[in-house]
């Protein structure tokens, strides 16, 4: 397994690789558009934030395939794990723990904020409990009508919570 950190340094020294990974990351996370409307638009902003040193992407690769991703935000105002994903075939192999260790190391913070959709809270709850993440807030209908967002180790301020991300089927 190989770990790649896509950050400002990576952008400056491997720009071709940065543009190579963009569509792979986009495709790997495309299903999150169902849980977070406008996720694709947000991900484009993440790519713009990398050269500005506001965000970084940690990838785990196996046989040149992305098997796990963490997107971290590191600004003066906020240290946050924005997206955390281990793909189903690679779960329960310790990759999630390793990816979390990498994320915490990269953020230089043992308790950054992380938010989890009600749709995935069961999947993450024991993992977050093991890491001593503390639930500090729950926002009903934060991104999708009738689906709560669970916030750990921090709070989303009222002006930060999107009021236009409702998705109706």
How far, in Å, CA of 122 to CA of 110, rounded? Answer: 22
Q: Please indicate, yes or no, whether the overall pTM of this predicted structure exceeds 0.95.
A: no
Tokens of 37: 């409307």
Query: pLDDT at position 60, please?
Result: 97
Tokens of 108: 């230089």
Q: What is the DSSP letter of 38?
A: T
Distance of CA 127 to CAs 11, 59, 91, 119, Å?
31, 19, 12, 15
Query: pLDDT at position 151, please?
Result: 93
Query: pLDDT at position 97, please?
Result: 92
The superfamily (CATH) of domain 2-160 is Gcn5-related N-acetyltransferase (GNAT) (3.40.630.30)
Helix, strand, coil fractions of the chain, as percent rounded to 5? 40, 30, 30
Query: pLDDT at position 44, please?
Result: 93
**84: which strand partners?**
70
Tokens of 2: 């190989």
Q: How far is CA 153 from the centre of its chain?
A: 15
Query: pLDDT at position 159, please?
Result: 45
Query: pLDDT at position 138, please?
Result: 93
Map out the domains of the chain as residue ranges.
Answer: 2-160
Is beta strand 113-117 parallel, antiparallel or unpaired with respect to 79-86?
parallel
How far, in Å, CA of 100 to CA of 70, rounded? Answer: 8
Query: pLDDT at position 141, please?
Result: 85
Residues in the chain where the model's pLDDT stays below 50: 159, 161-169
Query: pLDDT at position 152, please?
Result: 94
């Amino acid at each position: 397994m190989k770990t790649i950190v896509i950050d400002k340094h990576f952008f400056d020294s491997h720009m071709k690789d940065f543009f190579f990974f963009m569509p792979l990351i986009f495709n790997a996370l495309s299903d999150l558009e169902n849980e977070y409307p406008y996720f694709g638009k947000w991900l484009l902003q993440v790519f713009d934030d990398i050269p500005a040193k506001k965000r970084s992407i940690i990838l785990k690769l196996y046989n040149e395939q992305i098997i796990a991703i963490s997107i971290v935000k590191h600004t003066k105002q906020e240290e946050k794990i924005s997206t955390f994903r281990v793909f189903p075939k690679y779960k329960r192999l310790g990759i999630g723990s390793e990816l979390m260790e990498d994320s915490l190391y990269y953020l230089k913070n043992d308790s950054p904020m992380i938010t989890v959709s009600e749709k995935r809270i069961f999947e993450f709850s024991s993992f977050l409990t093991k890491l001593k993440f503390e639930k500090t807030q729950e926002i009903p209908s934060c991104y999708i009508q009738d689906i709560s967002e669970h916030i750990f180790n921090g709070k989303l301020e009222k002006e930060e919570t999107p009021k236009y991300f409702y998705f109706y089927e």
